[in-house]
A and B are shown apart, each in its own frame.
Chain A
Amino acid sequence: MATDEEIIKGCVSGDREAQKLLYAKFSRQMYAVSLRYAKEQQEAEDILQDAFIKVFDGLKKFKGDSKLGYWIKRIVINTALNAQRNKLYLYPMVDVDSLKESQGEELAASDYTMEELLKMINELPSGCKVIFNLYAIEGYKHQEIAKMLGVTEGTVKSQYARAKYLLKEKMKPGWSDQMKANKKINR
């Protein structure tokens, strides 16, 4: 089994086998990341493809300051943000009115499957979805997100609050059953 260093060395020298090894090692994890940002599967594939080409191009600059997986994830997220940027321009993010707290008891995220959670995220408006991913899942701070997206911190906060409200609504009991019912109808 080749080590990360050996794989990186091979990739930098243009060895296609090494590139394939790197892809095999990280593609599943990174595909899951790109699925969270993309609206549909085809878009996620495009993000992953572009991101890996950037990875192979930029590996010679990788100094090993962080873990290789984390470095690749950053590239995937940036690629996804670039892909989303046009949509964000089309639907500019603005402050949303204060939302009422979601009433009633919601289920925990762990009560849902990965597929169900992804569906909930994908049903969010584009701006909300990106900010929710960056804040709740990737762990960026509001200020960092504002800088990344070129919006105010207030916009980030209000968009996140909206995303949180919408998700909590979806996480109330019955949403899952409703989704399953919708699936049956669609069939």
Chain B
Amino acid sequence: MENLLEIRNLSIDAKIDNNFYNIIKDIDIRVKKGEMVGIVGESGSGKTITSLAIIKLLEKNLFIKNGEIIFEGKNIMELDDDEMRKLRGREISFVFQEVLTALNPVMDIETQVSEVLIHHRICDKERAIQKTTKILKELGIPLDKLKHYPHNFSGGQRQRILIAISLIGDPKLIIADEPTTALDVITQIEILKILKKIKEEGKSIILITHNISIVRNFSDYVYIMYLGEIMESGKTLDVMSNPIHPYTKLLLNSIVTLEKKDRLKPIEGNIPSIYEIPTGCRFITRCPFKTDKCIKEPPIKNKEGRYFRCWNV
């Protein structure tokens, strides 16, 4: 299958008080057509920064040091602001993290959803409203509530409205950043099923989450990030059933399940802050399998379609 999006060798630095800190290091991500790709990581792993780099919405103190982002053969880095504006919402759309703040509180939802079509001049207002009604109905929003404001809706409904906004411009790629974090478990499943259906209709989705169980159940391919690096990547089921990198192994081991009730096995230590990123392997401060080699930067190894960054496996 063809690659819709390809991130090659991307590195990003953060400038804080005139010092540069490397927060994303040499990452490679590929998204094929009709594929759901999961990016999993804890806080500070750089998963959100990576996704913002794709639509060029990085904070002003973040700089792309090297690498390229190719979307449908075009290098996004070379596009100017006008071209980017045409791309966002129409080719690549984003479902943001906070359902409470991502919607405009003083605009009714019909206007908010149809805004995308009108702004991109995809169709006239009348047609835009028709399309809006159709898509909101499909996503289970009661039609008598179209003129209501965001505060009239529950968290799950707000998330559906955000998905409607991201879908209505008919983009090829949807980036969903922690789309279910603030939601209850039952609502979470409903939202994830909607994303799955969208994928099955041929769109590509990047699903960013800290919840490895969501990725296990919904994504086709997974990238495991830690402190700005991709530690391991591969087909989701391969990675879950046979993790190679120590971080993935320990992470899967630390999760509480309903089957075992003896002691939990957490990963010892804390995630270093960006001021104290270690040299060499970035997982070195917490890895129980570390050796003398690990103070040098580990090579990216490739085995049967799996990629991982570790000296010792």
B and A form one assembly:
no
Give the interface of B toward A (CB within 8 A): none
Chain A: residues with CB nearer than 8 A to chain B?
Answer: none
